Amino acid sequence: MQRDIKVTHWKSDLWENLTFSTTEYKRFQFAKHFHDYYSLIHIMQGINNGFTQKSPYRIGPGTTLLINPGELHAGNSIHESKLRFVSILFYPDFLNKVAEVLHVNFRPSVTFVNKPLNSLKLNRTISNLIGLSKESQDMLAQECAVLQLFHLLLDGYTNCCPKIDRKPPRPYLGKAVEFIKENCNTNFSLDQLSQYSGISQYHLIREFKNTYQQTPYQFLRNIRIEKSKRLLIKKIPITQIAMELGFFDHSHFTKSFVRNEGILPSVYQNLSMR
């Protein structure tokens, strides 16, 4: 599939761990992936057809989607129509800091609602913050806009005491995930993962697909990509990152990164340095 995608990132001058981006594409299909941060996606143009976890969606202009850390997702444009959306990306540490400022109490594992949102007030608040984020002159306006948005999100769009609608991962899956995270920079075998987890290779793959909607390898690749982004920000050479994280070579890392993020690692690194 021909790449036809444009992604632009910029950081908040006032808030650490708060990043903005705009994404435009016609002919691009993201791989199923997850992040270790929260994502707010706001559609500006076109139709986004995708899913979060096991819930499919089709959303258009003015619709917002909140994606929690660890939630598997992917979104694609419809046919040849251009899809354009803005994203606000923030880590749990940032959310904790904002919650303290707002005097909001919630569990550390706060979860945002997992459904498309259509709210005129939310749309206006997002648009206001995006506009101000590109203008660093008025610091007070930016701070107020950030707090206004997150007060709205924390007050109306979280499941602070969510109902458990599925069984927690079985112990052997927890062991498998632990092994993958601790050994993500090595090329271990499925047999090694199976022996450590105490479950057969067949059942391990089946349970991963049922629980995480990914194979163990896809899960490993996602962990590597998330870790690579932190290393890219530290200005570590891309070839070194590829080798350190267990990719075969620079090309293998680049292809995997583009499949998840839509841009080259070098572009992400340059944007992160600004």
Nearest to 223 by CA among 36, 54, 43, 13: 36
Q: How far are the Cα atoms of 11, 192, 206, 229, 256 from residue 183, in angstroms, in the given order? A: 31, 11, 21, 17, 18
What is the reported pLDDT for 1?
44
Calpha distance 191→70 (Å, rounded): 25
Query: What type of residue sits at position 251?
Result: S
Binning pLDDT at 50, 70 and 90, where does residue 138 land?
low
pLDDT tens-digit profile of 111-133?
899 889 999 999 999 998 998 88
Q: What is the per-residue pLDDT for 202?
A: 82
User: pLDDT tens, 22-76?
Assistant: 999 887 778 889 999 999 999 999 988 888 877 888 999 999 999 999 999 988 8
pLDDT at 106: 67
Phi, psi of 51 (to 5 degrees): -155, 155
Residue 164 pLDDT > 50: no
User: Where are the CATH 1.10.10.60 domain residues in the chain?
Assistant: 171-272
- pLDDT for 178: 93
Nearest to 42 by CA among 103, 88, 101: 88
Single-letter residue type at 247? F
Q: Is the pLDDT of residue 168 over 60?
A: no
CATH of 171-272, one of 1.10.150.530, 1.10.579.10, 1.10.10.60, 1.10.10.10: 1.10.10.60
What amino acid occupies position 52? T
Domain covering 5-156, topology? Jelly Rolls (2.60.120)
Q: Which segments within the chain are labelled E, that is strand?
A: 5-11, 18-25, 38-45, 48-52, 55-59, 64-67, 73-77, 83-90
Region 127-143: mean pLDDT is 77
Confidence category of residue 102, pLDDT binned at 50, 70, 90: confident
Per-residue DSSP letter, 8: E
DSSP-assigned letter for residue 262: S
Instruction: Please report which confidence band the pLDDT of residue 160 belongs to, taking 50, 70 and 90 as the band edges.
Output: low
Domain ranges in the chain with CATH number 2.60.120.280? 5-156
- The average pLDDT across 224-251 equals 92
Query: What is the phi/psi pair of residue 179, to 5°?
Result: -65, -45
